Amino acid sequence: MENALWIELKDVIGALKDICTVIAEHEGNIGHIEQIGKKETVHLYLEIEGVADFDRLVVDLKKLDVVVSVTTVPTFTQVYGKRVIVIGGGAQVAEVAKGAISEADRHNIRGEKISVDTIPLVGEKEIADAVRAVARLPRAKILILAGSLMGGEIAEAVKEIQKEGIKVISLKMAGSVPEVADLVVSDPIQAGVMAVMAIADTAKFDIEKQKGKRY
């Protein structure tokens, strides 16, 4: 079972090493880590699995001189769940998000956890960089590319993240991106709806069976 900790610690050399040493002593494995800095202290968010006695781990962490406080918190998966990422032009992104958010709401009411992240961008390099970064985002499951023209380096970036298991839906647009996307959808609202359905456990929509199709 995966658990999460929110740790405030002194901003000193070796603090992270001390934290990791205690976790290793409890045979824990850090699945995800984020650091947020402040003036004299930093906060660590850690998702940890494999610990037999999590309460004991918390007690041992609190004994460290570098630790200010330790709080057990829900994991990001428990709070925010799977992520839909929408990248592209502002107007199209807004319409796609409208469909994705409406559909996510329908599934979340039934116990799912699906969140929607958006960023309006212009420029081939800027969009390609953002596409590649999706593979590094925690819990990202599917990307929707919303624009009027996308190709070149963006298409190459799409192929790279598909190899990492990220599904890609493209709006019907000019350029080579629709040729490499898993699914092409003309209507932006419908694209958002279908993206959520593709990753929802409470939906019966298999994007693999739709691969290469256009709607």
For the chain, residues with pLDDT lower than 70 are none
Measured between alpha carbons, how far is 5 from 71 in angstroms, rounded to an integer? 6
Helix (H) or strand (E) holding 83: strand 82-88
What pLDDT shows up at residue 86?
98
Q: Counting beta carbons within 10 angstroms of the beta carbon of residue 171, is it exposed (0 to 12), middle (13 to 18) or buried (19 or more)?
A: buried
Q: At what angle do helices 153-163 and 124-134 cross, to 10 degrees?
A: 0
What pLDDT shows up at residue 56?
97
Domains and CATH numbers, the chain: 2-75 (3.30.70.260), 80-210 (3.40.50.10550)
What pLDDT shows up at residue 51?
95
DSSP code, position 143: E
What pLDDT shows up at residue 202?
86
Compute how many other C-beta atoms are within 10 angstroms of the C-beta atom of residue 175.
Answer: 17
What pLDDT shows up at residue 19?
97
Q: Is 72 helix (H, G, I), strand (E, B) or coil?
A: strand
Could you tell me the pTM of the whole model?
Answer: 0.89
